[in-house]
Structure 1
């Protein structure tokens, strides 16, 4: 069995001690597979150097890669450690992936150790080291995820879906990073918080606000499907994705090393935006997710507008496979969305009028 598997694998990483009887390096090497050994045991006294070596080996070894241990516990944790670094996982997404992939070999204590090494969703974190252009910020009251996207060559930046109460925080981050804010952009007219775009514009007249033409909201610039928003040497591609609201759009960013989809409320981590008010239409949302988001490459980062369970990012491939709502048929999805029975957002009566005015009410 080992020799047969070795014929298919160009790399083979063993994570138990080399003396383990289940390790058969000569048989593996005889088939031309590159072999490395990195013993590790998930425990609080494990040195960071061992973890770094393990992640580096998973990253650099040739594919297809076999990661082997005796019970598939350590091997699975090794893979998850690499995925966490590669995909910007916080604690929540790692736990979710163990559940969705039915990795029942991962022992509870090993999963607890893994998540203890991962960050929580927090303000200002770079989502993935391989693409430092995108930082994530978080508003705890509304569970809103805001994104600061920066062109490293010119220091021009945009804010996507900022929250009024976090205006000073966001501007402080910009100041600390010595960035020049060009645009404040909203994915749609929010019902649960007021954008800070209007007040930022008052303080910084050179900053322009942007929202979709279909939203009907005021802004300095209106966009539609197929447009691009340029800042520095980067661009956001605009894709219309109505269904949560008529004006919902998804922004696609492609850097030299990664791709991101800023989906607002259209697509959330293992969920989606509600469709029972503000021109909601479940069939339209379903169609647009499949046509405009699920057609993106699987490794594309999903950067949602909210998460209520401490999760920061997902990927197109994960949502295509595991989203419990959007893996249903369109009829099943529509029935589900029509019967959620959710209470209206607490701030809807002030948020929607405020956001229609770009966050600044007209003076009496």
Structure 2
């Protein structure tokens, strides 16, 4: 079976990938031959992740050419399939694995995890082959979702932006059914147990519980007053010791639970940017580090949505996370028309402090209104419809949004300036002047 050719578009890249080939192989072709193969045959190279090819059935000669460039080859049909070119793949020096996989109502979670583990373990560049490149894309996206914490809605927008034309609509529906929704139980990604994402539906706020596995010390980023009981219950269930409640900025759409948590757990300290004008136990500035256990959140000042916005960068053994608040959202950004906002400053700071991060950095936004969980820096650098524009065009876009006055701002803003509860009796106990806390 073949596949519809469609347009290569922005999401399909015929140029050389980041991953290097093994000894004797130069990696994926950058001379134009791969582009010719993609144009003529059912082969695709999605720009994300960039080191994986997917294909349908191919002539033996083409299989041999591609096997000469790939280090791994995952075949999703039975080895008795008449289109299987085992000899050509093995002659090309590929690490060949045959794992029949057919998504459907009878597929088990064990089978899904087995194929994900195959993709995770196999060398790059990797070819994933089936009959029409449909199941190959399903497998690639299952792996990406497991690695990065994508919800079904996150995968849906990625498929659209990458122009993955061999993925059938029914396959996308199956994927969305089998991927987690916002606020799933468990770590955001199985590769980084340190981070959990929690969801508050009224304000579509995404809260993050981050802990050090070695010491059980934890921080809670952008928590909501209405979910205080849920958050404290989870912290207790996991046996964690909450050290800080951290806010990326002074919110206008919900009240932080920082002060309420502090009253329940007096040892907890609240943290916010010095530029926010809000009360807190600890005020932070650009370049500071919020330390808990053996981990730390690097503070990057990103004013623009408000003049007190900061983002937090977390580096663990298996991943980098950027907790971006409202500065950078999935395919969007926070508004800039109140709280001393500035479109120009937001554009400048996102490009300087966030888009400079490694492309596979997992973007953990403060909100999402369409069921999407996370993105990556590479995705937003390529596909964010506002922030990829020149600054003058970005300013025009932001000035013409015509957004309504925030419904909760009159209650939320004064409460958050007092760190969560109006008429809070305590004053800020300390102001950070060093580089870490």
TM-score computed with the length of structure 2 as normaliser: 0.82
Q: Give the alignment's Cα RMSD to 1 decimal.
A: 1.2
2:177 counterpart residue number: 116
What are the ranges of 5 or more consecutive residues in structure 2 without an aligned counterpart? 1-61, 426-437
2:281 maps to 1:217: no
| Count of residue pairs the alignment pairs up | 364
2:288 counterpart residue number: 227
Q: C-alpha offsets along residues 80-119 of structure 1, whole Å, 9 cap, x if unaligned? A: 0111111111111111111111112111111111111111
2:83 maps to 1:7: no
Match of 2:122 among 45, 55, 61: 61
Shift of 1:47: 3.0
Between the aligned partners of 1:363 and 1:262, the Cα distance in structure 2 is: 27
2:214 counterpart residue number: 153
Between the aligned partners of 1:18 and 1:5, the Cα distance in structure 2 is: 19
2:317 counterpart residue number: 256
2:341 maps to 1:280: yes
Between the aligned partners of 2:422 and 2:184, the Cα distance in structure 1 is: 28
Contact 1:125–1:137 (Cα < 8 Å) also in 2: no
Q: Residues 40 and 242 (structure 1 numbering): CA distance in 2 closer, same or farther, change over 3 Å?
A: same
Q: C-alpha offsets along residues 314-353 of structure 1, whole Å, 9 cap, x if unaligned? A: 1111111111111111111110001100001110001011
Between the aligned partners of 2:185 and 2:363, the Cα distance in structure 1 is: 17
Match of 1:206 among 267, 278, 281: 267
Contact 1:124–1:173 (Cα < 8 Å) also in 2: no
Between the aligned partners of 2:306 and 2:424, the Cα distance in structure 1 is: 27
Contact 2:273–2:309 (Cα < 8 Å) also in 1: yes
1:244 counterpart residue number: 305
Contact 1:303–1:313 (Cα < 8 Å) also in 2: yes
Between the aligned partners of 1:59 and 1:116, the Cα distance in structure 2 is: 22
Shift of 1:57: 1.2
Alignment of 1:1-364 (within 5 A): 1-122=62-183, 124-362=185-423
Shift of 1:258: 1.0
Between the aligned partners of 1:133 and 1:124, the Cα distance in structure 2 is: 13
Between the aligned partners of 2:327 and 2:307, the Cα distance in structure 1 is: 11
Shift of 1:124: 4.7
Q: C-alpha offsets along residues 247-296 of structure 1, whole Å, 9 cap, x if unaligned? A: 00000011111110000000001110001111111111011111000111
Between the aligned partners of 1:271 and 1:134, the Cα distance in structure 2 is: 23
What are the ranges of 5 or more consecutive residues in structure 1 without an aligned counterpart? none
Shift of 1:69: 1.7
Shift of 1:363: 6.2
When structure 1 is superposed on structure 2, of 17-26 and 31-40 the one drifting more is: 17-26
Contact 2:418–2:424 (Cα < 8 Å) also in 1: no
Q: C-alpha offsets along residues 12-49 of structure 1, whole Å, 9 cap, x if unaligned? A: 11112323333211011011111111122221112333
2:43 counterpart residue number: none
Between the aligned partners of 2:344 and 2:329, the Cα distance in structure 1 is: 16
Contact 2:252–2:406 (Cα < 8 Å) also in 1: yes
When structure 1 is superposed on structure 2, of 125-134 and 47-56 the one drifting more is: 47-56
Contact 1:218–1:358 (Cα < 8 Å) also in 2: yes
Shift of 1:71: 1.3
Q: C-alpha offsets along residues 192-241 of structure 1, whole Å, 9 cap, x if unaligned? A: 00101011112221111110000011111100000011111111100000
Q: C-alpha offsets along residues 112-141 of structure 1, whole Å, 9 cap, x if unaligned? A: 111111111125531111110011111010
Between the aligned partners of 2:266 and 2:110, the Cα distance in structure 1 is: 48
